[in-house]
Amino acid sequence: MRIGVLGTGTVGRTIAAKLRELGHDVLVGSRSAGADAVPFPDAAKHGALVFNCTAGAASLEALGAAGEENLTGKVLVDVTLPLDFSQGSPPGLFVCNDDSLGEQIQRAFPETKVVKTLNTVNASVMVDPIPGTNLFVCGNEEEAKAQVGELLQGFGWPADAIIDLGDISNARGTEMYLPLWIRLMGALGTARFNIAVVQ
């Protein structure tokens, strides 16, 4: 399918490469178009589905630049984290607890179907899952989550590894896992890990 990927950082490039490998027609968008990226609006307009891989702190502005009209009625896969480096490292979150970046984006683009996922693992794990571990999705639209679930299965996530947490307010849960993720990365000495939910 035609897919727009907003953001040219490691996450955006990794996801775009995987989508192309899977045969999708991908345009990557950035603030300033370059050798392998088009302007945000062109990438968003191109996509029947759009990935938001921009930096959390710049996401609302980037999506605004992409153009609400280019996102209306579409599924937006929101991979962002509301990282706040203003107090140094490890970073905090610039929104949490009673709100989330996923919800802020859904409120700002009410006609877009925001699905939050992939934000609990690093770029390499996103497209090369660690066997036996889990991924979380949330969003207000069941059909949108089902469509994203199929894409995730293409990335290598088994259907039964994907846990649907409910509506987009549950992005609070997955975004607030970040402070634990960062500390686990420090304790383990690698970012290539994930969690398995075990009963």
Which is nearer to its own copies, 35 or 197 (by Cβ)?
197
In the complex, least distance from residue 72 CB atom to its own copies, rounded to whole angstroms:
29
- Give the residue among 55, 76, 62, 179 at the shortest CA–CA distance from 120: 179
Which is nearer to its own copies, 48 or 184 (by Cβ)?
184
Which is nearer to its own copies, 33 or 177 (by Cβ)?
177
In the complex, least distance from residue 133 CB atom to its own copies, rounded to whole angstroms:
5
Which is nearer to its own copies, 32 or 97 (by Cβ)?
97
Residues that bind its own copies (CB under 8 A): 87, 92-93, 96-98, 130, 132-133, 136, 163-166, 170, 172-174, 176-184, 186-188, 190, 192-199
In the complex, least distance from residue 101 CB atom to its own copies, rounded to whole angstroms:
13
In the complex, least distance from residue 140 CB atom to its own copies, rounded to whole angstroms:
15
- Give the residue among 160, 192, 175 at the shortest CA–CA distance from 116: 175
Strand order in the sheet with 25-30: 38-39, 25-30, 2-6, 49-52, 75-78, 113-117, 135-139, 162-164
What SS3 state is found at 64? Answer: helix
Exposed/middle/buried for 20, CB within 10 Å: 0-12, 13-18, 19+? middle
In the complex, least distance from residue 37 CB atom to its own copies, rounded to whole angstroms:
33
Which is nearer to its own copies, 33 or 96 (by Cβ)?
96
DSSP 125-179: HHTSPPTT--EEEEES-HHHHHHHHHHHHHHT--GGGEEE--SGGGHHHHHTTHH
Nearest-10 crossing angle of helices 101-108, 59-66: 30
Which is nearer to its own copies, 15 or 93 (by Cβ)?
93
In the complex, least distance from residue 88 CB atom to its own copies, rounded to whole angstroms:
11
